[in-house]
Every structure is written in C-alpha cells, then in structure tokens.
C-alpha cells in the first residue's frame, strides 16, 4: 500500500544537456551523446532507488522534450518545417514541427532505452509516452485538418510502440495528457477514445497523467486565471472512470484542485501529487504525509500511489533528489501510522 512513484521526468545532469530548461540543448553529439544518455538513465534510476521510490522511471533522460521524443521516429512529420503555434488553447507559443503526411511509426522509438533501464533496476519500472491529444496539440498540421482523426492516427502509432515496451518488460505504461485539462469537450468527443486505442491490448498496467503543467511562468500565470477552485478534472474523471485505463495521475498538493474530485475515479488507482514541482522549496515528510492523508479521504490506501504533481525536468537536480526523499519518507510515515 501507498507505493510511491513519480510523474515521469527528472532533471538532466549538466554534462548531458542544458539545465533548468524545458527544451534543453544537448551538450554532446553522436556516440558520446548516446553513451551519456545511457549513463544519465543509470543516474536517474539510482536517484530514485536511493530515495526509496518504489515504481521508478528512466527520468526521461534520452528525450529533449516529453512530446517530441516519441515523434522523432514517426514518419509524416517534417521537423525542418517548424511553425510557431499557440498550444494548450494558446496559453503559450511554441515552435513546433509540422505534420505533412500520414502518421506511421518508422520503427522502435524507446525500445533500447527501456531494455537498458529494465536491465539496470529490480524496482518496478514505469515508462511514459505522450498521449494522443497532447501530441496533436503540440504540432502544426498541414495534412489531417481534423484533430480527432490525427489523434487516432497517433494512437495507433503509440499502441505499436507501447506493445514493444510491454514486451521489453515495463510494468506500467503511462500516457501524459496535460491537454485533457484544457479541452474538455474534445476529451469527451475523441480524447478518451484515442487514449484507449493507444493503451489497447497491453499486459502492463496502463496509466494517464493529467496535470496543470510544469512550474514554468506560462503555467503559473494560467493557473492564476483559474479561480479559487480548479474543477477541470470534474468533467474528465467520470469519462476515465468508465474507460479501460487503470491508473490516473493527478495534481494535488499546493494546487486548488478540490480533492473530493478524486471520488469520481471510483475503481481506479490514484497517483496523487504529494510533491509540488512548481516550487524549489523541499517538502517535509510531514507535509507529504498530510497530502497523502488528505487524498486518503477519497481513495483507499491500497489504491493510492503517492506521486509528484508533474514532471521534474526543469528543476535543479539537487532539489529534485531531496523532494524524492521527502516523498518516500512521507509515505513511510503514513504506512507506520496505519500500522503496516
Ligand atoms: Zn504533468
């Protein structure tokens, strides 16, 4: 019970890439870069094991950005043809590649990374992929001209990839769908259907992560406009409760999400954020324990997985390491109180 995990990403070491950036440039190239990425995966696994995290990830070390890592080996996308588009309902501008033809996975994208991580930890291993709606929202499109259709094409490519990762022995496959908090109507129309298509037929536990984003200025400015209660989950969770997806990762600590919305996820595993990624202040184990106990009012400890609110990619590395320790220590405190 109360097994700990993280949303996905960890800060990249300074010898691998620029630090504290969302789209960091690599410090190396060619074979040296490939070796450095593998070393960075080892460091990420070790950081989580040392902290005492139960279900760990590769820290998303080999990818420059959580969406575009997958896209780099998908045909139908022109990476030279970059357009500046407004993403997340125009919350911020991003320079994005353009879809110019039918989407097709050109080959294994993350297989080697997963085999490397799997061979180097005995912990349960989670791997994250971008969700179809979030991918669609992070690309310019000159081909499909229909977001739902384009999402389904990506869902099929993601499913091929997920099946490979499944075969490589990953325990949890998580799709990141921050866009679900932005496009409520489209989530109902095609978002959940595309997500289920991406997760179809997997042996691994399936998860979706929905959040209010990294602690970057565009996101904190947006959050300031959302009022005293953030109720975006209210329309999305009932749809997920009816879906085949088994776990839902959500933002909780230091957010304005009313925690009773967790009650809408009946039957699902809940990965509740007990670590704030928008602040460099390290939580105390007691604060983490309080966040866990607040969530436990709405979900049984057997189905609750203390987690981070979101990815930690843009944080200082030592802060992330300290926060992981606080997460594990906080969960241990609650387990002890419960006498287990
Ligand atoms: Zn997130």
43: domain CATH number is 3.20.20.210
User: How far is the centre of ligand 1, averaged over its atoms, from the C-alpha of 164 (Å)?
Assistant: 24
Q: Is pLDDT above 90 for 154?
A: yes
CB 54 within 8 A of CB 45: no
Kindly list the protein residues that place their beta carbon closer than 5 angstroms to ligand 1, a single-atom ion: 211, 310
CA count, 13 A, side-chain hemisphere, 33: 10
User: How far is the centre of ligand 1, averaged over its atoms, from the C-alpha of 80 (Å)?
Assistant: 27
User: How far is the centre of ligand 1, averaged over its atoms, from the C-alpha of 340 (Å)?
Assistant: 30
**Whole-number pLDDT of residue 216:** 81
Averaged over 108-119, what is the pLDDT? 96
Show the tokens assigned to 305: 């997985």
Averaged over 193-218, what is the pLDDT? 94
User: How far is the centre of ligand 1, averaged over its atoms, from the C-alpha of 251 (Å)?
Assistant: 8
Is residue 108 situated within a structural domain? yes
**Whole-number pLDDT of residue 169:** 96
Q: Name the phi and psi angles at 2, rounded to 5.
A: 50, 40
Q: Is pLDDT above 90 for 190?
A: yes
Is residue 333 situated within a structural domain? yes
Kindly report the number of other CB atoms within 10 A of residue 293's CB atom: 17
User: How far is the centre of ligand 1, averaged over its atoms, from the C-alpha of 31 (Å)?
Assistant: 31
pLDDT band, residue 68 (cuts 50/70/90): confident
Averaged over 185-200, what is the pLDDT? 97
**Whole-number pLDDT of residue 313:** 94
Ordered DSSP codes for 208-255: EEE-S--S-HHHHHHHTTS-SS--THHHHHHHHHTSS--EEEE--TTS
Helix (H, G, I), strand (E, B) or coil at 51: helix
Is residue 12 situated within a structural domain? no
User: How far is the centre of ligand 1, averaged over its atoms, from the C-alpha of 309 (Å)?
Assistant: 7
Return the ∠ at Cα 91 (arms to 85 and 94), rounded to 5°.
35
**Whole-number pLDDT of residue 94:** 86
User: How far is the centre of ligand 1, averaged over its atoms, from the C-alpha of 179 (Å)?
Assistant: 10
The answer to whether the Cα torsion of 212, 217, 220, 226 is positive or negative is negative
Q: Is pLDDT above 80 for 75?
A: yes
Tell me the H-state helices in the chain: 30-51, 68-71, 111-119, 132-136, 147-167, 184-186, 192-198, 217-223, 233-241, 285-296, 317-337
Is residue 258 situated within a structural domain? yes
Q: Which residues of 330-340 are buried (b: 16+ CB within 10 A; e: fewer)?
A: bbbbbbeeeee
Averaged over 316-327, what is the pLDDT? 98
Q: Which residues form the domain of 82?
A: 30-337
Kindly report the number of other CB atoms within 10 A of residue 252's CB atom: 24
User: How far is the centre of ligand 1, averaged over its atoms, from the C-alpha of 209 (Å)?
Assistant: 6
User: How far is the centre of ligand 1, averaged over its atoms, from the C-alpha of 250 (Å)?
Assistant: 8
Q: Is pLDDT above 90 for 136?
A: yes
Partners of 78 in beta bridges: 98
**Average confidence score pLDDT of the chain:** 95
User: How far is the centre of ligand 1, averaged over its atoms, from the C-alpha of 334 (Å)?
Assistant: 25
Averaged over 302-323, what is the pLDDT? 97
User: How far is the centre of ligand 1, averaged over its atoms, from the C-alpha of 285 (Å)?
Assistant: 22
If one counts the domains in the chain, the total is: 1
Is residue 133 situated within a structural domain? yes
Lowest mean pLDDT among 3-12, 23-32, 86-95, 175-184: 86-95
The answer to whether the Cα torsion of 301, 6, 48, 113 is positive or negative is positive
User: How far is the centre of ligand 1, averaged over its atoms, from the C-alpha of 124 (Å)?
Assistant: 20
**Whole-number pLDDT of residue 220:** 84
User: How far is the centre of ligand 1, averaged over its atoms, from the C-alpha of 109 (Å)?
Assistant: 21
User: How far is the centre of ligand 1, averaged over its atoms, from the C-alpha of 59 (Å)?
Assistant: 13
User: How far is the centre of ligand 1, averaged over its atoms, from the C-alpha of 273 (Å)?
Assistant: 10
CA–CA separation, 12 vs 259, rounded Å? 32
Lowest mean pLDDT among 87-101, 175-189, 282-296: 87-101
Q: Is pLDDT above 90 for 218?
A: no
User: How far is the centre of ligand 1, averaged over its atoms, from the C-alpha of 289 (Å)?
Assistant: 21
Q: What is the pTM of this model?
A: 0.96
CA 151 to chain centre: 18
Q: Is pLDDT above 80 for 215?
A: no
Is residue 145 situated within a structural domain? yes
User: How far is the centre of ligand 1, averaged over its atoms, from the C-alpha of 248 (Å)?
Assistant: 12
Is residue 194 situated within a structural domain? yes
User: How far is the centre of ligand 1, averaged over its atoms, from the C-alpha of 222 (Å)?
Assistant: 14
Return the ∠ at Cα 236 (arms to 172 and 134), rounded to 5°.
60
**Whole-number pLDDT of residue 224:** 87
User: How far is the centre of ligand 1, averaged over its atoms, from the C-alpha of 311 (Å)?
Assistant: 5
Lowest mean pLDDT among 32-41, 63-72, 105-114, 127-136: 63-72
User: How far is the centre of ligand 1, averaged over its atoms, from the C-alpha of 247 (Å)?
Assistant: 14
Is residue 19 situated within a structural domain? no
- Express each pLDDT in 230-259 by its tens digit: 999 999 999 999 999 999 999 999 999 999
> How big, in percent rounded to 5, are the helix, strand and coil portions of the chain?
40, 20, 40
User: How far is the centre of ligand 1, averaged over its atoms, from the C-alpha of 320 (Å)?
Assistant: 15
**Whole-number pLDDT of residue 204:** 98
């Amino acid at each position: 019970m109360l097994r700990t995990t993280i949303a996905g990403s960890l800060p990249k070491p300074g010898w691998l890439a620029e630090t504290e950036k969302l789209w960091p440039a690599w410090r190396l190239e060619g074979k040296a870069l490939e070796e450095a990425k593998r070393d960075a995966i080892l460091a990420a696994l070790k950081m989580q094991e040392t902290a005492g995290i139960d279900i760990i990830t590769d820290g998303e070390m080999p990818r420059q950005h959580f969406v575009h890592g997958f896209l780099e080996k998908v045909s139908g996308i022109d990476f030279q043809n970059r357009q500046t588009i407004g993403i997340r309902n125009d919350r911020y501008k991003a320079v994005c590649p353009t879809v110019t033809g039918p989407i097709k996975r050109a080959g294994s994208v993350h297989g080697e990374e997963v085999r490397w991580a799997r061979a180097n930890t005995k912990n349960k291993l989670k791997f994250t992929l971008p969700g179809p709606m979030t991918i669609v929202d992070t690309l310019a499109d000159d081909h499909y001209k229909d977001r739902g259709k384009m999402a389904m094409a990506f869902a099929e490519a993601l499913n091929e990839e997920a099946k490979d990762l499944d075969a490589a022995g990953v325990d949890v496959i998580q799709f990141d769908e921050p866009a679900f908090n932005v496009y409520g109507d489209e989530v109902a129309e095609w978002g959940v259907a595309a997500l289920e298509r991406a997760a179809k037929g997997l042996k691994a536990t399936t998860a979706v992560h929905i959040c209010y984003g990294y602690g970057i200025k565009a996101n904190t400015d947006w959050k300031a406009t959302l009022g005293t209660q953030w109720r975006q989950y209210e329309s999305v969770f009932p749809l997920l409760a009816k879906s085949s997806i088994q776990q839902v990762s959500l933002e909780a600590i230091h957010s304005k999400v009313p925690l009773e919305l967790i009650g809408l996820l009946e039957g699902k595993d809940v990965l509740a954020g007990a670590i704030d990624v928008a602040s460099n202040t390290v939580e105390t184990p007691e604060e983490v324990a309080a966040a866990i106990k607040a969530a436990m009012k709405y979900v049984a400890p057997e189905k609750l997985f203390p987690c981070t609110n979101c990815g930690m990619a843009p944080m200082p590395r030592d802060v992330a390491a300290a926060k992981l320790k606080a997460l594990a220590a906080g969960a241990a405190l609650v387990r002890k109180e419960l006498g287990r």
